[in-house]
Amino acid sequence: MTDSVFRGRETTRHLSLTYSGAVDLMKGGNPQMTLYDDTLELLQTMVRNACVNDLTADSGEEYRNAITLEEFFKDTPNVEVQRFEPHPGRVSVAFTVPGTDDTAEPLTLLGHTDVVPVDIDRWSKDPHGGELIDGRIYGRGTMDMLFITATMAAVTRELAHRGRPRGTLTFVGLADEEARGGLGAKWISEHEPEAFSWRNCLSETGGSHLPVADGSDALVVVVGEKGAAQRRLHVTGDAGHGSTPFGRESTVAKIAEVARRISLIKPPVSSDELWQGYVKAFRFDATTEQALLEGTDPAAYEKFGRLAGYSDAMSHLTIAETVIRAGGAINVLPSKAHLELDIRPLPGTTDEDVDAILRESLGDLADEVRIERLISEPATVSRTDGPLYEAILETFDEFFPGVPVVPTISAGGSDLRFGRRLGGVGYGFALHARERTLSDVFAQLHTHDEHLHLEDLDLTVKAYRSLVNAFVGA
């Protein structure tokens, strides 16, 4: 465990560091309070703590949510607490309920406590207010992913009050997920990998529904995520005065041509079982299905509706040109320029594969372009069998009997990849009402007026309680 000293900070009007909610029934609290009530109040408190991560080391200040969680677990029996603070204020905290059987499967719940910034002028609600309006809770992080984090905490605490489980249960409130975990899960996995088990992990997100073409239902479980292969492409040209460009090689024209050639890359469609199963789950007509599986008609993606962008990303390596830099003064011919690419590879695609694709697209310019690797992480995916996956299927069937479950891969990242790298399995798990499709969930991520239906919070609390009790043993 990281032995760190808490460093106090001033709070803003939104902060609500002390969890003042329901005392657990087994502690003699208000008999009207339920697990759902506890979860909702904790969620509101965490939203109001406003642990905003702007991707800089001194932002986030997740110590606020760490204090809230420590207060939430105060006086809870059978719980061991570990604190991690690799940078001042960037606090993660783990709560472990040791099992009674060393041979039983452990379970670790990975919930992050940071949220992304807001454009305050675009919000009609207080982004850090946690307001309850028309059956919804509004605020940054309500969907991503504080509602799951609060659920994990409440379910863990309830189980601890009932005694030690058969298998060890750990809940971790993690810092810095929105900046790829460098001061959170990534740091713990590299510096304190034995602090808790990574063997079976749950995190964000899952349990939404697919808009199947024939009107039937299907549930989503996230079993993996694409990797990162960020690149910076450098070119050089002739410097000089802007008044005399004659005979000089234009750096700007060269980087523009590089960008044009990169934009023409058309990676092949995946042939793996995840993509095939996802397409078939929609029950499209035979022509559309074939076009999607074989990659013969890009227009076929429109059949996915609001999921067209995600479906395209799930089906192949994507390359997004996001940043271009050249020059500084209007009267100076720049001698260097670069183009930055956000590249997301599928499982099995290596850094060497990515560089080869880029060089091939550059053609006769390849020798004039230097490829710099930035963040590079392989895609990770967990198997679609085994005890935890089976427990997810059984839990889904409990609430939506007979509904098929479709494993998918996330286009973005989550803390689950660190557990997979250490040899464990990890799945995105929550539960939404029938009306909430995968595109509805995506629409709330990092958006204005982010909100969660309270019906979905209730379902997620019930689903986590059922799965945790079944998996580690009440």
pLDDT of residue 413: 87
pLDDT at 358: 98
Mean pLDDT across 350-378:
97
What pLDDT was estimated at residue 222?
97
Predicted local distance difference test score (pLDDT) of residue 18: 57
Residue 386 token pair = 């085994």
Q: Where are the alpha helices (DSSP H) in 73-163?
A: 147-162
371 closest CA partner among 384, 385, 357: 357
How large is the average pLDDT for residues 136-161? 97
Strands 92-97 and 80-84: antiparallel
Q: pLDDT category, 4, cuts 50, 70, 90?
A: very low
**In 10 A of CB 228, how many CB atoms?**
19
Superfamily for 25-213+380-473?
A: Zn peptidases (3.40.630.10)
Strands 92-97 and 370-377: unpaired
> Looking at the predicted structure, is the pLDDT value of residue 23 above 80?
no
Per-residue pLDDT at 16 exceeds 90: no
| Residues 336, 405: Cα–Cα separation, whole Å | 51
pLDDT confidence of residue 5: 28
pLDDT of residue 421: 96
Residue 388's pLDDT band (cuts 50, 70, 90): very high
CA 320 to chain centre: 19
- State the average pLDDT over residues 241-248: 95
Token pair in block for residue 45: 């408190």
Q: Which CATH architecture has domain 228-377?
A: 2-Layer Sandwich (3.30)
Quick check: 17 pLDDT over 70?
no
- What is the DSSP secondary-structure string of 180-208? TTTTTHHHHHHH-TTSS--SEEEES-EEE
pLDDT in tens, 272-301: 999 999 999 999 999 999 999 999 999 999
- Specify the pLDDT at position 205: 86
Banded pLDDT at 33 (limits 50, 70, 90): low
Q: How far apart are CA 233 and CA 260, in angstroms?
A: 13
Nearest residue to 143 (alpha-carbon basis) of 391, 467, 448: 448
**pLDDT tens sequence across 182-194:** 999 999 999 999 9
More confident residue, 181 or 413: 181
Mean pLDDT of 446-454: 96
pLDDT band with cut points at 50, 70 and 90 for residue 369: very high
Domain boundaries, the chain: 25-213+380-473, 228-377
- Rounded to an integer, what distance in angstroms lies between the CA atom of residue 234 and that of residue 334? 13
